[in-house]
């Protein structure tokens, strides 16, 4: 009986995986705090299958779950010891027991070598530390190997006031006071007008951004802490474009996506280089021709572009963002948009390609292409 059921499931699996199906591409997202941003286009693009009585997505997930029960491939079930966190000694906040002003040597003693080092918008590198994206944090060092930046979206935040991830926005305001509306950064000031999604505080000699999850009752979902000296060295809203910055923003968005998936008990995605090039070309096209849409000027959908580049997939989706200050801001904007969030947290996706390009004003354009390969 079991053997017959097993072979029946194999036959169904072959039928399902041989028949492509797609997620509607999600609508785009633009920052509210940049007034000169491109006009936002709210049309969705892409192929979809309508009026199908049989739920192929649900069946695929069931079959995948069935086969994974016979393997050890469920990497998200790895046992990762929670960190023992201590209250910060010098600063308001610490991330993974690391504070602004600590040394790289002390961080490496706790966590070993970083999993990835990539350039960020402050002209230094983010060093990403994690265990298969568990206990994820990024640390920025200056030329003297001193910690000048911290970020996490996982539950490794400590504070002198017991503010942690999951704290409500109202409680954060009660603890930290009213956030700043005007932020000075280098030679310019900018107004924070997107305070539904994040607040910025300038305290302890740091520029601290508290990100909120609007889908989780506006609770604290992440924190970025940048030393004010490092922030002051950023003399323009958008950092001068370069190949190393492009690559850094791409890998940072990829890592942030996987850290978010682990946080929601999903497996991390694999980097897909070929579809990254497809995404990169679309970002470059949007930047060069000053438009922002899933459908390009030749009328091609994301799926047309993937097919043209011989990308095989059974299901796929696309997220777009533009004119955000960094991949961190882009990621949290996408997570606070329902359609984009669904792509990021879609259980059927297995791979991700990210492509970034800059326009003549150094504004970054982000394209994320999610997919599951046919085989």
State yes or no: pLDDT of 209 exceeds 60: yes
Quote the CA–CA distance of 292 and 311 in Å, as a whole number.
23
pLDDT band at 47 (very low <50, low <70, confident <90, very high): very low
Q: What is the mean pLDDT of the chain?
A: 83
pLDDT at 187: 63
pLDDT value at position 194? 62
Give dist(CA 17, CA 41) in Å, integer.
33
Nearest to 348 by CA among 330, 373, 369, 326: 373
**Residue 118, pLDDT score:** 98
| Structural domains of the chain sorted by starting position, each given as residue range(s) with its CATH number in brackets | 93-233 (3.40.33.10), 243-373 (3.40.33.10)
Q: Which residues of 227-250 are buried (b: 16+ CB within 10 A; e: fewer)?
A: bbebbeebeebbbebeeebbebbb
- What's the CA angle centered on 135, arms 123 and 154, to 5 degrees? 80
Interval 262-287: pLDDT, tens: 999 999 999 999 999 999 999 999 99
Q: Is the pLDDT of residue 11 over 70?
A: no
The whole-model pTM stands at: 0.82
Structure tokens at 42: 């709210």
Which of 61-65, 177-181, 328-332, 354-358 is the least confident region?
61-65
- Cα–Cα distance, 22 to 57 (Å, whole number): 9
Q: So what's the pLDDT on residue 43?
A: 32
DSSP string, 82-100: PP-----SSSSEEETTB-T
**Which region, left, alpha or beta, applies to residue 168 given φ > 0 means left and ψ of -120 to 50 means alpha?**
beta
What is the per-residue pLDDT across 285-317, written as a single tens digit (0 to 9) for each?
999 999 999 999 999 999 999 999 999 999 999
Report yes or no: 97 and 110 within 8 Å, Cβ to Cβ: yes
């Amino acid at each position: 009986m079991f053997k017959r059921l097993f072979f029946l499931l194999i036959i169904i699996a072959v039928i399902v995986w041989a028949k492509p199906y797609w997620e509607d591409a999600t609508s785009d997202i633009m920052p509210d705090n940049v007034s000169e941003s491109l006009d936002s286009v709210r049309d969705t693009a892409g192929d979809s299958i309508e009026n199908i009585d049989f739920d192929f997505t649900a069946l695929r997930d069931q079959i995948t779950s069935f086969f994974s029960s016979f393997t050890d491939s469920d990497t998200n079930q790895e046992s990762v010891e929670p960190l023992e966190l201590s209250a910060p000694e010098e600063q308001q906040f610490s991330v993974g027991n690391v504070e602004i002003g600590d040394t790289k040597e002390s961080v490496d003693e706790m966590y070993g070598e970083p999993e990835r080092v990539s350039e960020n918008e402050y002209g230094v590198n983010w060093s990403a530390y994690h265990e298969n994206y568990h206990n994820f944090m990024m640390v920025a060092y200056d030329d003297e190997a001193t910690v000048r930046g911290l970020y996490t979206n996982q539950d490794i935040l400590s504070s002198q006031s017991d503010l942690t991830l999951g704290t409500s926005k109202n409680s954060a305001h009660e603890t930290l006071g009213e956030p700043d509306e005007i932020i000075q950064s280098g030679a310019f000031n900018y107004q924070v007008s997107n305070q539904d999604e994040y607040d910025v505080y300038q305290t302890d000699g740091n520029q601290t951004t508290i990100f909120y999850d609007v889908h989780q009752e506006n609770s604290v979902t992440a924190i970025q802490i940048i030393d004010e000296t490092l922030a002051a060295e950023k003399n323009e809203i958008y950092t001068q474009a370069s190949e190393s910055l492009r690559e850094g923003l791409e890998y940072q968005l990829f890592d942030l996506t996987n850290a978010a998936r682990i946080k929601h008990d999903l497996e991390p995605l694999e980097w897909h280089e070929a579809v990254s090039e497809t995404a990169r070309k679309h970002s470059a096209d949007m930047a060069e021709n000053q438009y922002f849409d899933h459908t390009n000027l030749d009328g091609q959908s994301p799926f047309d572009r993937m097919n043209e580049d011989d990308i095989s997939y059974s299901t796929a989706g696309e997220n777009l963002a533009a004119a955000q200050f960094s991949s961190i801001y882009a990621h949290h904007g996408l997570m606070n948009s329902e359609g984009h969030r669904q792509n990021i947290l879609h259980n059927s996706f297995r791979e991700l390609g990210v492509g970034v390009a800059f326009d003549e004003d150094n504004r970054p354009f982000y394209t994320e292409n999610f997919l599951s390969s046919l085989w």
